[in-house]
Every structure is written in structure tokens, then in C-alpha cells.
A and B are shown apart, each in its own frame.
Chain A
Amino acid sequence: MSGNQEKLTEKDFKDPYEYGFETEIDSDFAPKGLNEEIVKFISNKKNEPKWLLEWRLSAYRKWLTMEEPNWASVRYPAIDYQDSYYYAAPKEAEKIESLDDVDPKLLETYNKLGIPLKEQEWLAGVAVDAVFDSVSVGTTFKEKLKEDGVIFCSFSEAVNEYPDLVKKYLGTVIPTTDNYFATLNSAVFSDGSFVYIPPGVKCPMELSTYFRINAAGTGQFERTLVIADKDSYVSYLEGCTAPMRDEHQLHAAVVELVALEGAEIKYSTVQNWYPGDEEGKGGVYNFVTKRGDCRGDNSKISWTQVETGSAITWKYPSCILKGDNSSGEFYSIAVSNNYQQVDSGTKMIHLGKNTSSRIISKGISTGNSSNTYRGLVSIHPKSNNSRNFTQCDSLLLTDNCSANTIPYIQSKNIDSIVEHEATSSKISEDQLFYCQQRGLDEEEAVSLIVNGFCKDVLQKLPMEFAVEAQKLLSVSLEGSVG
């Protein structure tokens, strides 16, 4: 049918990666490679106290003894850790009083991404801690948050301004010895965000960070620490895009969440890093360790993620349910297209009594991609009356992609209940035809069906993120059927 063919030709002009541009800013590089001198260089650049340098060095020494994990269902050429830069900072970002002092080029970058800081400041009511490369360049709403005693700042700033808090909680959820990539991060982490919500405070706004990888060959080693003190609440949003690049970029972030008694943390991510081109060339390696600790009784941690980017995703946001009656949630949408590889899921570790966890995972694969859900539910002997519910659904759009569900379930307590449901389906021609017969073109039809498939998770996102995420799903799947 020639009508269809014309459309397909149009589709061949897929949007080149929408956010694939690189801002030209002189970066202040550390020399290439990794050794103790580099770790010292980074620490020194950031005027860090001695204890933190020691902390980094001990992580580095541990890292040297570790081996890169190879159990995930992903393939990539060996990474040469000596062939990368571990520190790059925009030169002018050292001391910034207000947004007016920010390099206009940086602001322009954010504008291209549709994140005008100034507008957001006024319109969206979102405090933005913008991480550009390795150093935070603009933090807004700080004053307003301060009134409530909320601390929201760059990690480096927190190290200098709130050393006791940092020292008390850093590495207590994800120890420096945790895993290869988290340990590497502990040694060379660049910057990130720090949040502290004092007892009884409900954070008055959604806190949000936009990450961006820039500067050729720079690995990103973000470090985020969120502490919700007793009976407090915070919702944190993290969104990412990256410029188009040819070579692979390693990203090994660490996010630690601590919820004390009665506290609740909601952590949402939209991840849209450069996934590589249609032949699988380039793209970000996203090897992230995210873990939340429900340390106090009646605490709650909820992870929601929409993952559409990165060449490789290796990521298992987890909850340690230590406090009695604590609960953990994991809501995930993972889209893989072309040659993307996703191995992602969660870990729910039930330690306290009456703990509950809920996992809803939606995987969508198309092109030649592979998409694996890997999740652990572990109920310890003393965790009486605990329960878990897991639902993993996979949707396949083409014949060449793959979807796998690998659940690990360990229950050592006879009173506890674990439920696991999994489905795998292919988008049906009848569904597509039905939508097309009602006037939707093929891509609109796919987008509608996929959005319906993901609805349970999309609903968990904060409003402004949900809209962005829906758009992202459509963009990620453009030209994926037909």
C-alpha cells in the first residue's frame, strides 16, 4: 500500500536525539586516569575535610580489589577506567550568588531542554538544584526552604556547611564496600544533591534535580543523600538528558535515602540519557546504585522510575525495611529500543515486623533491544506478618527484541506472604488496527496502547512529571513498529 509507504519514509527521519547537543564551555579537567593522586585532586578541588578524603581513599583501595560484576544480562566492551576523566567542572561555577551570575551558555542549555530555571522558579514552584557536569551551578528556593528548616543544596556545599549530618549518614545505606560501581563512586564522586527534612516537616514543594552529562569523556559520579527525619515528608524528582556523543559514557551514581520513624520519601526519576544511535553506537552506560533505608518504624520509601534512555541500564532501586510497619514501593517503566539493554528491578529486604512492599514493573521492548526485570524479595526470619506483592508485565513490539523476568524470592518467615504475577504480551495487530480505524496513525496508536499499558505506574508520578513522561514514552517509541 503506497499510502503506508510514504508514511514509513517520513518515519525514517526519526528525530535525531532531541537533546543531543553539547555546550561549549571550558572544563577544568583533572588529568585522565584513576589513582590515589586523582582521588586527592578531586577532594582537594572541593576543599573537603580530611575525613572525607580518607573515606574516598579507603573506597578507592577497596575498589582495586573488586571485580566488575558480570551477572547482568547486558553486554558491552571492557571499560578502560584509566582512559577517562574523573573531574570536570565548569570554570565559572565556583562561587555563584544568584542565577544572574550563571554563565549564559549554561542557562541556554537548560532552555534548550525546556527547563528555564527562572520560569520554573516562578511558575512551577519547584526548587531546582541544577547539576551541570560535576558542580552545581544554581540553586533556587533555598531561602524559602530554609524557613522550614529544609536543607536542599549541592553535596559539596553540604560537606562544608553541614558536615555533621553528612558524616552521620553518608555511606550508611550503601557502604563504600557495597559493589564495584558504588565503590568507584565513593572514591571519585563529583557532586550531587543533599536533602535534609527536619522532624515533623512536610517539605512544601517537590524538590527536583536535572542532571546533564557534558564534556567529552567525563564519567559522571553523582552522589545524592536524602534524609527524612522523624515524621517528615519529601518528594524528590530527578530528570536526566544528555548530549549526543559517539563514545560510551560511564555513569555510576549513588543515591542513598534514609527515612526515620514515621517519615516518608517519594523519589521519582525520569531518565532519558542518550541511548546510542540506531546501530547501537554510543550511548550512556547507566550503572547506578540506589537504595533507601526505612530505618524507623512506620516509615515509607517509594521509588518511581521511567527509564527510556541509556545504552545500558543496570539499576535496582531498593528498600531495606528495617523499621516495624515500614513499607517500600517500586514502580517502574523501562523502555528499550534499537540496541538498548536494560537489566533493572528492585530489592525489597524485609527485616522488621509487619513490613510491606509493592512492586509494579512495566517493561516495553522494541527494535533489537533486551529488557530484563531482575528483582529480589527477601523476608527475614524475624519479619513476622510481612507481605509483598509483585507484578511484572512485559510488552514486546517487534520480533527481534526480548523481555525477561527474573524474580528471586526468599521467604524465611512462615507468617509472611509473597505474591508474584508476571505477564508477557506482544502488541496485537488487532489493537493497532482498531485504533487506526478510529483515526489514529500508527505511532499515535502505539503510544496510546503503551501509555495504557503503563498507566498504573504513570499515575504514581507527580503531575508535572507524568506529562513529561508520557511525551517521553511516545518519543522513545517513534518508528518502532511497522
Chain B
Amino acid sequence: MKEFLNINNLSVSVDEKNIINNLNLKINQGEIHAIMGPNGSGKSTLSNVLAGKDGYSITNGNISFCEENLLEFSPDERANKGIFLAFQYPVEIPGVTNINFIKTALESKREFNGLDPLKPGDFLKLIKEKAKVLGIPEDRLKRQLNVGFSGGEKKRNEALQLMMLNPSLAILDETDSGLDVDAFKIVADAVNSTRSKENSMLIITHYQRLLERICPDFVHVFVNGSIIESGGPSLADEIEKNGYERFNNG
């Protein structure tokens, strides 16, 4: 089994405050990992660090992705190498249409990987197909990126990009938040459908409900910037029942 992500003794601070402490995590090809933790435990810091956002200092440890030093790469290089972050709060970009943005992103990734851009007809067919799965009406593709989208529409749109870009490692940062019950099912099933032996996923979530639909191979409990317990899906069930109290006290 090919090793995708390897986080080794990672410590991260923001403004000299430690957020992540000696974190270790390994994700192999084909695996789905879930990180569960209370608010403020450093979950979003982890996803931002993996994606390469500015403003975090790595004080210790290293991260490799497909056996390359991930920290050497810029955010766009990481994206083009196959790391996708489904944002907790997707941003609005006025004047840029949704479909044009997705096309630009896809072309950028294809070019990086030595592929020709998709023919316009093929692209259109693909995006319409994926949009349909997610229940995204076609006119929303022509709207400005995330502008005036509701919270749920934004999350669906993140799922659409995920399906279009088909990353080797998808990081879902609180993708379930802001979704009503129906939308939640649609998005979860769509994400589930991208599951394959080729790709891996890191699901960051506060609640267990997403994990009911996308059954992870591993569940990690993340408190105060490190993993304090790992297990199978049953660990998520336990948290659902008893909350994080046991871990906080422990």
C-alpha cells in the first residue's frame, strides 16, 4: 500500500502560541481517516497547514506527501499534486463565474500533470453530470463564485469541485456544518461516491453524523493539538454518546 500522507512529530504555532503539538498521522492510499475533536482543538489549523496557508510556523517535525517534503511546496503546487481542501468557509469571488473558476482549476491541475485541457464539450458534460448528482441546478454554475450562495449551496459547491478535481487526498474541513438534513445526505453520498482504492480522504468534523454515511477506516480523537486516541468507527459512536469529556479530563 502506497503511503500518501505522513505527518511526523508536527508542532505548529500561531503568534507564538502552540496549536498543534507533536502530531503523528499516516494516511495510505485508499484509506479514509476521520479526525474528531471539540471546537478550538486545532483541527482547522491542521487543514490549513496541510494546504500551505500562510501565517503558521512549523516549530517541529515534518510532513511528507507521496514521499516528497510537502512543506517545500507552495499552496498551488500542493493542490496540483493532489491535495484538495474542501473549505469550512468557502470565499466569494465576485465577477468570476463558478463554471469558469472550476474550469480554470481543472486546467491548471491537468497542465501541471502534463495533460491537455479537456475539450469544452467534454468538460461541460462532466460538470453537468456531477452537478446533477449533487442537485446543483445548472444556472448556479453560471453564477458568480459563491456570491450570494447560502451556506448549504457553498458546501455543495465545494463537493462539486472535489468531484471535478478528483484529488488523491481530499481534506474535508467541517463539510457537514451548515447543511440541512437533505443536503447533508446528498453531499455525503456524493463524497462517498468518490471513494476509491486510488484516493484517500481526511475528514475533519465535530460531529459523528457525517461518519455514519461515509464510514471511515480510522477515527482519531484530536484534543489540544494532538491525537490522543485512535480506533475504528466505533470510537465515533462512543463520542456521539458521551461527548469529548472523557478525553478532556484524560
Spell out A's residues near B (CB within 8 Å): 1-4, 7, 428-431, 433-442, 444-445, 448-449, 451-456
User: Shortest 7 CB-CB distances between A and B: which pairs?
Assistant: A452-B95, A455-B95, A452-B96, A438-B105, A436-B75, A439-B108, A439-B79
Most buried by B among A2, A7, A439, A451: A439
Flag if A433 contacts B75 (CB, 8 Å).
Answer: yes
CB-contact partner of B96 in A7, A433, A439, A449, under 8 A: A449
Most buried by B among A435, A437, A445: A437
Task: Confirm or deny: B144 has a beta carbon within 8 angstroms of a beta carbon on chain A.
Answer: yes
Chain B residue nearest in CB terms to A459 = B95
Flag if A436 contacts B95 (CB, 8 Å).
Answer: no
Flag if A451 contacts B54 (CB, 8 Å).
Answer: no
* Residues of B with C-beta under 8 A to A456: 95
CB-contact partner of B101 in A429, A436, A448, under 8 A: A448
Mark out the residues of chain B between 55 and 87 whose CB falls within 8 Å of any chain A CB in the assembled complex. 71-80, 84-85, 87
Some 18 contacts from A to B, beta carbons below 8 A apart, are A1-B71, A429-B54, A431-B91, A433-B51, A436-B75, A436-B79, A437-B76, A437-B84, A438-B79, A438-B105, A438-B161, A439-B76, A439-B79, A440-B104, A449-B96, A453-B94, A454-B95, A455-B95
* Residues of B with C-beta under 8 A to A449: 93, 96
Flag if B51 contacts A437 (CB, 8 Å).
Answer: yes
How many interface contacts (CB-CB < 8 Å) are there between A and B? 86
CB-contact partner of B79 in A429, A437, A442, A448, under 8 A: A437
Task: Confirm or deny: B247 has a beta carbon within 8 angstroms of a beta carbon on chain A.
Answer: no
Flag if B94 contacts A439 (CB, 8 Å).
Answer: no
Q: Complex formed: what's the CA distance from A87 to B75 in Å?
A: 54
CB-contact partner of B76 in A442, A451, A454, under 8 A: A442
CB-contact partner of B73 in A3, A429, A448, under 8 A: A3
Given contacts A429-B54, A437-B51, A438-B101, contact A3 B72 (CB under 8 A): yes
Contact mask for chain B residues 13-57; partner A; CB cutoff 8 A; 1 contact, 0 none: 000000000000000000000000000000000000001111000
Chain B residue nearest in CB terms to A456 = B95
Report the interface size class on chain B: 20 to 34
Q: Complex formed: what's the CA distance from A400 to B232 in Å?
A: 53
Given contacts A1-B74, A451-B96, A452-B96, contact A433 B104 (CB under 8 A): no
Q: Complex formed: what's the CA distance from A4 to B161 in Å?
A: 25
Contact mask for chain B residues 146-175; partner A; CB cutoff 8 A; 1 contact, 0 none: 000000000000000100010000000000
Mark out the residues of chain B between 80 and 115 whose CB falls within 8 Å of any chain A CB in the assembled complex. 80, 84-85, 87, 90-91, 93-96, 101, 104-105, 108-109, 112
Given contacts A444-B108, A448-B101, contact A436 B74 (CB under 8 A): yes
* Residues of B with C-beta under 8 A to A451: 95-96
Flag if A7 contacts B74 (CB, 8 Å).
Answer: yes
Q: Complex formed: what's the CA distance from A375 to B176 in Å?
A: 48
Flag if A437 contacts B85 (CB, 8 Å).
Answer: yes
Flag if B109 contacts A435 (CB, 8 Å).
Answer: no
CB-contact partner of B144 in A431, A434, A438, A452, under 8 A: A452
* Residues of B with C-beta under 8 A to A454: 95
* Residues of A with C-beta under 8 A to B87: 434, 437
Q: Complex formed: what's the CA distance from A453 to B96 in Å?
A: 8
How many whole Å from A461's CB to the nearest CB in chain B?
15
Q: Complex formed: what's the CA distance from A344 to B78 in Å?
A: 41
Chain B residue nearest in CB terms to A452 = B95
Flag if B76 contacts A453 (CB, 8 Å).
Answer: no
How many whole Å from A342's CB to the nearest CB in chain B?
21
How many whole Å from A436's CB to the nearest CB in chain B?
4
Flag if B96 contacts A437 (CB, 8 Å).
Answer: no
* Residues of A with C-beta under 8 A to B54: 429, 433
How many whole Å from A435's CB to the nearest CB in chain B?
7
Q: Complex formed: what's the CA distance from A440 to B101 in Å?
A: 10
Q: Complex formed: what's the CA distance from A120 to B165 in Å?
A: 40
Chain B residue nearest in CB terms to A450 = B95
* Residues of A with C-beta under 8 A to B96: 448-449, 451-452, 455
Given contacts A433-B75, A441-B76, A453-B94, 5 further A-B contacts (CB under 8 A): A433-B54, A437-B75, A438-B101, A440-B108, A445-B76
Chain A residue nearest in CB terms to B85 = A437
Chain B residue nearest in CB terms to A429 = B54
* Residues of B with C-beta under 8 A to A1: 52, 71-72, 74
How many whole Å from B168's CB to the nearest CB in chain A?
13
* Residues of A with C-beta under 8 A to B144: 452
* Residues of B with C-beta under 8 A to A7: 74
Flag if A452 contacts B74 (CB, 8 Å).
Answer: no
Q: Complex formed: what's the CA distance from A433 to B52 in Å?
A: 9
Q: Complex formed: what's the CA distance from A251 to B109 in Å?
A: 45
* Residues of A with C-beta under 8 A to B108: 438-440, 444
How many whole Å from B190's CB to the nearest CB in chain A?
18
Chain A residue nearest in CB terms to B83 = A437
Q: Complex formed: what's the CA distance from A363 to B101 in Å?
A: 23
Flag if B93 contacts A431 (CB, 8 Å).
Answer: yes
Chain A residue nearest in CB terms to B90 = A434
